[in-house]
Amino acid sequence: MDNRLTRRQREIYEYLQAHADEAPPTLDELARALGMTSRGSLHRHIQALVDAGLVEPMEGKKRGVHLAENQEGTDNQGLPMLGRIAAGRPIEALPQPERFDVPPQLRRNRPCFVLQVEGDSMIDDGIFDGDWVVVEERDRAENGELVVALIDGEEATLKRLEQRSGEMVLHPANADHAPQVYRPDRVTIQGVVVSQMRRYF
């Protein structure tokens, strides 16, 4: 079964994660925090998170919306956090010896890693400075996919891929940034973005 979450469900889950050390919010508090006007719509999203095993069922025994207990202490779900990736201009992705907890619904069965986004060139795709992206390790990608590309074996960047005859074009999602065009032998695909995460404070 495909348990991938919608963007709104990810936003709710990420908000609950970011505020896990606080009192669990009620539906009304959660709706206000996320700018949602429909309590019924929010309840449906919460139920989807319950079905995915990420949130405890709301059976009236506890106040507020609680993350599922099995979401705590999941070291086996940790992915390697490899550093920062430029969404504006290429920078070096610096390895960092740490793990990043990622729920299974936001990753693939194949090897994945996490990078933190730096820059604003992908904002029209909803990817902002400071977000984290989960990347599936792959050495090739299809046109239109969001990729981590290594330029000249030294600098990494996050862009949408277009492969043409004799060249590879890395497209930003911001009109203030121009596409980057390279010979194919200068570009190495390191992975494809499969999900993203964000904190709200």
CA separation for the pair 159, 144 (Å, rounded) = 9
Structural domains of the chain in order of their starting residue, each with its CATH number: 7-71 (1.10.10.10), 78-197 (2.10.109.10)
CA separation for the pair 92, 151 (Å, rounded) = 10
CB-hemisphere CA count at 13 Å for 121?
A: 19
User: How large is the average pLDDT for residues 163-184?
Assistant: 95
pTM of the predicted structure, to 2 decimals: 0.61
Is residue 134 classed as helix, strand or coil in its secondary structure?
Answer: strand
pLDDT-derived band at 123 (thresholds 50, 70, 90) equals very high
61 is catalytic: no
68, 51 Cβ separation under 8 angstroms: no
CB-hemisphere CA count at 13 Å for 160?
A: 16
Which is the catalytic residue, given 38, 62, 159, 195? 159
Q: Is 80 exceeded by the pLDDT of residue 78? A: no
Which is the catalytic residue, given 41, 121, 165, 195? 121
CA separation for the pair 170, 130 (Å, rounded) = 21
Q: Is 90 exceeded by the pLDDT of residue 187? A: yes
